[in-house]
Amino acid sequence: MDLTPYIQTFILIPLIGFFISLVVMHGREKWLSAIAYTTAGLQLFLFLPFLVYWIIQGAPVLNLTEFALYESSDYVFLVDFFFDEITAVYLFVGSVLTFLITIYSRYYLHRENGYKGFFNSILLLYLGYNWTIFSGNFETLFIGWEILGLSSFLLIAFYRERYLPVRNAIKVFSIYRIGDVGILMAMWASHHLWHENITFLKLENSELVHEQISGHSAVGMFIAFMLLLAAAAKSAQLPFSSWLPRAMEGPTPSSAIFYGSLSVHFGVFLLLRTYPLWHEQIIVRISIGVLGLISAIVATLISRVQSSVKPQIAYASIAQIGIMFIEVAYGFETLALIHFAGNAFLRTYQLLVSPSIASYRIREQLYNYIPRPITIEDSLPRRLEYSFYMLSVKEWNLDNFINKIIFTPLKKLGQKINFINIRNLFIFFMPAYLLGVYLLFNKSIIPAQIEPYLSEIFALLSLLMVLRAFGERKFPKLAWLFILLNHFWIVLAVNFNENFDLSHSLIFLSGILPASLIGYIVLNILAKKESSNFSLNQYYGHAFEYPRLSILFLLSCLGLMGFPITMSFIGEDLILSHIHDSDFLLAFLMSLSFIMGGIAGIRMYARLFLGPHIKTYHAVPFKNS
């Protein structure tokens, strides 16, 4: 019996469960929790006989080309599903843990205001998890990758009336988006390396991979390092390790299942899935192993000095994932999968029992004091021991490092380019854009010395627009306009790169324009209702009084960032596929524009609708709650 058609069942079950949970009314706790654990339980109990029969048949590799979302003469966007031993292990672990945690959450979150939102987000993340592990090509994988990022943001910001969970949710989402640059650049380079949307099934053909990589070693190495960037960001390896303990601000069940066990292991999954692509490149393997080793050592040191349980478990998990990176680099695929399963179950258990263990240990310290045992650190010179201690207490300044290297410069640059304002927009930038459109249809009048640089110039202008939106603090509607204009400059830039079909531009803008219009209407309504509390200087918490506006604006942000709910997601891939393999700068500028646009939009949503409510007649938690 051919098992391939049954693969889609494991995608449909969480998808149906998610949509059913959306229509259940608030307050129906039994229904919401029952939908969640029934979805995970049904998936688990259907998968077990499937797994047994698959093993009996010899564990064949299964590939299901589901359908083409878009197809033209030189481009196909395929949704492709793939099943092998990596998928089997990840699906088994994910199904078991999700089933157990949804039952646990039914009682843990009883009478919480965000009960419905929690189970909606859990099912959305479970959908993204399944979609990612079944993905058969980079395009399909990126759909699940984006769903994981959004649902992670929603789960971390579950306590939306508090300051720290919302702030940390933005930080985690931003680091995820930095990793997305790696995925986008890898997709762009792979288009030109293979001249198609390469499937993971074809990557299993060692002769084909060897022939392509040997002839284009630089491109192959570039793809591998971009994938390593995405894997390091997703799995909290150095220098991105600081986001994982911050993600623990969400409810304990979500911390246990996703940030302690499932979501944080997707960097390992990405390296395992793309292993045939880079395993012959010694420099890449050494880089993965060294990164894992350094991450494991630093995370172990930080974990040993943590004063609270959740960060201690988070850094211990980072250390184990670092060891998994080493195992993958050595080619020990089976060992890495066993290690993943063991670490996932252990961290889930530790996080669930951590409140009880902390209470027990405090009691033991009071009544049965035991002196600190001598450890290996005591053999070091005192000055070195104290230096390691202080560095570890400060978490090796990883948070400050990321801020100083990435976010602070971008924010300052966005604030310094304040010459991009409404007045200059109409005086200089709009005429420049119209001139660009005119030159696009009259390329014969463009001097030959200038034409090769026009794409990069317009792409740089698009990046300036989105940086200006990222740095804007006073006027939300102006920031929203800059994010929209960023996409128009991107379309103009790619049209100068080559003869980009007009229909491709319309596909990209088909999701951007409606989302931007709805978002602007929401901002206009909110500005009229809350004229004195309408800026981006702080968190206002307007979702408390305007929940429908909050949901509409979130959907608008997703549409504007090319989330896979509109055709703009396919448009992004179309744009990248039309950038020549020699135009590295153009590909980087456009990828960065896409990523920064998403960060700027979600930041706007969080500052306007999440956080402690600005009005004093609402209960406001302390800032450090």
What does the pLDDT look like over 218-259, one tens digit per residue?
Answer: 888 888 899 999 999 988 898 888 888 888 777 888 888 777
CB 299 within 8 A of CB 316: yes
Q: Which pLDDT value is given to residue 517?
A: 93
Q: Residue 199: what are its φ and ψ, rounded to 5°?
A: -95, 155
User: 574 CB contacts (<8 Å, ≥6 apart)?
Assistant: 70, 75, 77, 504, 507, 508
Domain limits, the chain: 4-363, 417-609
Asked whether residue 358 carries a pLDDT value surpassing 70, the answer given is no
Give the integer Cα–Cα distance in Å for 289 and 511.
Answer: 41
Give the integer Cα–Cα distance in Å for 266 and 89.
Answer: 13
What does the pLDDT look like over 435-449, one tens digit per residue?
Answer: 888 887 777 787 877
What does the pLDDT look like over 473-500, one tens digit per residue?
Answer: 888 999 999 999 888 888 888 887 766 6
Q: Give whole-number Cα distances, 555 to 178, 550, 599, in Å.
A: 21, 9, 14
What's the average model confidence in pLDDT over 542-550?
88
The C-alpha torsion from 255 through 258 and 263 to 265, rounded to 10°, is 80
What 3-state DSSP class applies to 64?
strand
Give the integer Cα–Cα distance in Å for 239 and 233.
Answer: 8
Give the integer Cα–Cα distance in Å for 235 and 400.
Answer: 19
What's the average model confidence in pLDDT over 450-457?
82
| Amino acid (one-letter) located at 294 | I
Query: pTM of whole model > 0.85?
Result: yes
What's the average model confidence in pLDDT over 409-417?
79
3-state secondary structure 531-594: CCCCCCCCCCCHHHCCHHHHHHHHHHHHHHCCCCCCCHHHHHHHHHHCCCCCCHHHHHHHHHHH
Of the pLDDT bands very low, low, confident and very high (cuts 50, 70, 90), residue 581 is: confident
Q: Give whole-number Cα distances, 348 to 40, 118, 121, 168, in Å.
A: 16, 18, 18, 21
Q: Which pLDDT value is given to residue 625?
A: 46
Q: Which pLDDT value is given to residue 499?
A: 63
Give the integer Cα–Cα distance in Å for 166 and 157.
Answer: 5
Residue whose C-alpha is closest to residue 256's, from 325, 313, 336: 313
Give the integer Cα–Cα distance in Å for 234 and 267.
Answer: 5
Give the integer Cα–Cα distance in Å for 394 and 398.
Answer: 8
What does the pLDDT look like over 325-352, one tens digit per residue?
Answer: 999 999 899 999 999 999 999 888 888 8
